[in-house]
């Protein structure tokens, strides 16, 4: 296991897919479909995805024997890392559905024009309104948000806001982390098989 082996792992289709998955959160920027909280959600997710690839590299290279060394007596087969990689990708797909559901439920958008340019205000709202607002009939979450100058802290409880923000952000982060981990695992298996 060396830096040279690490760079060789990018030579396969799985390695290229891993790089694309790690950079995937940046593709959400022009679509405005990334979490609005925390402000650097995309950068944090890219960092965690890169860590996922490194974890895959180290784990697979520790589990599978190096083809240049003498094979240990109980050396692992490649079936287990492949199953882990495919499992991570499958759970990542499930997380993408959960992210879409969370985003649709908790993120409210309002387009507006500022100095002749179209901008979108995106805010994460909570699931529980503050006591004074829960009794009143407010027509819609978007209207309630607009009535409070797009400050969700004034309309929703801090606990429900924290929970909604974490749910949206963590589902986004885990989705890309597991996708990169799964693709990275398959890239490592492919790289080791090519060296044999």
SS3 label, residue 109: strand
Task: Report the alpha-carbon distance of residue 84 to residue 186 in Å, rounded.
Answer: 9
Q: Could you tell me the pTM of the whole model?
A: 0.84
Q: Going residue by residue through the chain, which has 196 residues, state the pLDDT in tens, using 9 for 90 and above.
A: 566 666 677 777 788 888 888 888 888 777 778 899 888 898 999 999 999 988 988 888 787 755 555 444 445 577 888 899 999 999 999 999 999 999 999 999 888 777 888 888 899 999 998 887 766 666 688 888 888 888 999 989 999 999 999 999 999 999 999 999 999 888 888 887 776 6
The whole-number pLDDT of residue 138 equals 65
Task: Report the alpha-carbon distance of residue 88 to residue 181 in Å, rounded.
Answer: 7
The whole-number pLDDT of residue 73 equals 47
Query: What is the DSSP-derived secondary structure letter of residue 95?
Result: H
Task: Report the alpha-carbon distance of residue 10 to residue 151 in Å, rounded.
Answer: 45
CA dihedral angle for residue 92, residue 97, residue 99, residue 103, rounded to 10 degrees: 160
Report the 10 Å Cβ neighbour count for 34. Answer: 21
The whole-number pLDDT of residue 139 equals 66
Identify the helix (H) or strand (E) that includes residue 117.
strand 117-124
């Amino acid at each position: 296991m060396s830096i040279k082996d690490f760079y060789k792992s990018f030579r396969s289709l799985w390695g290229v897919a891993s790089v694309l998955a790690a950079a995937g959160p940046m593709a959400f920027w022009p679509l405005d479909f990334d979490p609005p909280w925390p402000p650097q959600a995309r950068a944090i997710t890219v960092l965690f995805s890169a860590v996922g690839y490194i974890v895959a590299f180290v784990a697979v290279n520790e589990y599978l024997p190096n083809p240049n060394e003498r094979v240990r007596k109980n050396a692992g087969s490649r079936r287990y890392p492949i199953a882990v990689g495919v499992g991570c990708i499958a759970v990542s797909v499930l997380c993408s559905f959960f992210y879409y559901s969370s985003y649709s439920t908790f993120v409210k958008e309002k387009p507006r024009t500022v100095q002749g340019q179209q901008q979108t205000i995106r805010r994460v709202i909570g699931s529980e309104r503050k006591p004074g607002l829960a009794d009143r009939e407010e027509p819609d979450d978007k209207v309630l948000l607009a009535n409070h100058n797009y400050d969700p802290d004034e309309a929703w409880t801090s606990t429900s806001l924290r929970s909604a923000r974490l749910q949206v952000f963590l589902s986004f982060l885990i989705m890309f982390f597991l996708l990169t981990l799964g693709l990275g695992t398959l890239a490592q298996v492919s790289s080791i098989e090519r060296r044999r």
